[in-house]
Amino acid sequence: MGEETKDRPIGVYDSGVGGLTVVRWLHQVLPQERIIYFGDTARVPYGGRPREELIRFSRQIVGFFRKQGAKFIIAACNTSSAAALPVVAEESDVPLMGVIRAGARGAVSVTKAKRIGVMGTQVTVESRAYTLAVKELEPDAAVYEQACPRLVPLIEAGHRDGELVEGPLKEYLQPLLAREIDTLILGCTHYPYLLASIKGLVGSDVEVVDPAEAAAREAEDRLKDLGLLSGKKAGEDLFFVSGEPESFHAAAVQLGYNQSVEHVEIERYTI
Ligand code: DGL
């Protein structure tokens, strides 16, 4: 593989601002990699959409990243990872990874009671992708999945704490706590924005796992295996959205990213 290919960017995508919680870890683990981020803000939330539609969206996004010259793609979205990735990864000539295996690995490495809770979108929970991924690693584990459909719209609207998020959070966490979980997977890349509230509600006896760190390390391993690790950062990161750029920019600034954000007509692309 030539130097030129190694210098190409990694494409990272999500329905909205959630995937930026993965970008944060990618910057720590792989500071020399250039990132192009796509947030599908015109079509967020993904969490209640039919599988066929999510597959079509992922094909469009992969097509866009190919045009941008991406060398590797990360679905920084549990919903897409669960519903679309198994199909789209087979079709793509650019290697693709999701975040679910990383989340399962993170949880199995910290659980002692082998009682694991998962918060996720409706689609992720119905796919049982986390249950299957955890059980592959630890067949004795009990996994309890809880759909949390009201959280993503609140987070996209800029809410991070207070009664507006804590009300639904209490409702979603109560059935998991009743199962006496000792580990909780944040099975949606939007949820780390609510980390302080979630930790406050579950207490210190429950380990909260954000799959993003393990996903960044898995990306490092995959790039190494593929001979695609970049030696030095070959340019600035670029952020794209399918909706209007301003509100996304405001959310990105909260996380310390001040790049300009561009609109893209995502429906023009496909694999
Ligand atoms: N952040 C995404 C996930 O990890 C998508 C959430 C949504 O759009 O419903 O599942």
Calculate how far, in angstroms, residue 129's C-alpha sits from the geometric centre of ligand 1: 14
Domain limits, CATH 3.40.50.1860, in the chain: 3-98+213-268, 100-211
Q: Is the CB of 75 under 6 A from ligand 1?
A: no
Q: pTM, whole model, 2 decimals?
A: 0.96
What is the model's pLDDT at position 4? 79
Would you name the residues annotated as active-site residues? 77, 188
Q: Is the CB of 82 under 6 A from ligand 1?
A: no
pLDDT of 142 over the 80 cut: yes
Work out the average pLDDT over 84-95.
97
What is the model's pLDDT at position 154? 95
Work out the average pLDDT over 37-59.
98
Please identify, by atom number, the ligand 1 atom nearest to the C-alpha of residue 18.
Answer: 1
- Cis amide linkage into residue 45, ω under 30° from 0: yes
C-alpha–C-alpha distance, residues 45 and 22, integer Å: 18
**69 Ramachandran zone, left/alpha/beta (phi>0; psi -120 to 50):** left
Q: What is the second-level CATH architecture of the domain 3-98+213-268?
A: 3-Layer(aba) Sandwich (3.40)
Question: Could you give the angle at which helices 100-110 and 211-226 cross, rounded to 10 degrees?
Answer: 120
If one residue of 122, 125, 188, 209 were mutated to test the ligand 1 pocket, choosing by the most ligand atoms within 8 A of its CB, it would be 188
Q: List, in sequence order, every beta strand (DSSP E) within the chain.
A: 10-14, 35-39, 72-75, 96-97, 115-120, 142-147, 183-187, 207-209, 238-241, 261-263
If one residue of 49, 78, 146 were mutated to test the ligand 1 pocket, choosing by the most ligand atoms within 8 A of its CB, it would be 78
pLDDT of 254 over the 70 cut: yes
What is the model's pLDDT at position 251? 82
pLDDT of 88 over the 90 cut: yes
What is the model's pLDDT at position 2? 53
Q: Where does the pLDDT of residue 93 fall: very low under 50, low under 70, confident under 90, or very high at 90 and above?
A: very high
pLDDT in tens, 179-197: 999 999 999 999 999 999 9
Q: What is the CATH number of domain 100-211?
A: 3.40.50.1860
Buried b (16+ CB within 10 A) or exposed e, 68-92: bebbbbbbbbbbbbbbbbeebbeeb
Tell me which residue has tokens 């609207």: 157
Residue 98 is encoded by which pair of tokens?
């999701």
C-alpha–C-alpha distance, residues 15 and 121, integer Å: 12
Calculate how far, in angstroms, residue 152's C-alpha sits from the geometric centre of ligand 1: 7
Q: Where does the pLDDT of residue 3 fall: very low under 50, low under 70, confident under 90, or very high at 90 and above?
A: low
